[in-house]
Amino acid sequence: MKKLNHKGNIGGLQSFIMGIVGVSIVLAVAFVVLAELKTSSTSATANTSIDTIVTKLGGVPNWIGIIIVVALSAIVMSYFYFRNK
pLDDT tens for the 85 residues of the chain, in order: 455 555 555 666 777 788 888 888 998 898 899 888 888 888 888 889 888 988 888 888 888 888 888 888 887 787 777 776 5
Look at the chain and report how many structural domains it folds into: 1
- In which domain, by residue range, is 47 found? 7-82
Say which DSSP state 1 is in. -
In a domain, 71, yes or no: yes
| pLDDT attached to residue 21 | 86
Q: What is the pTM assigned to this prediction?
A: 0.63
In a domain, 23, yes or no: yes
- Rounded Cα distance between 19 and 41, Å, is 33
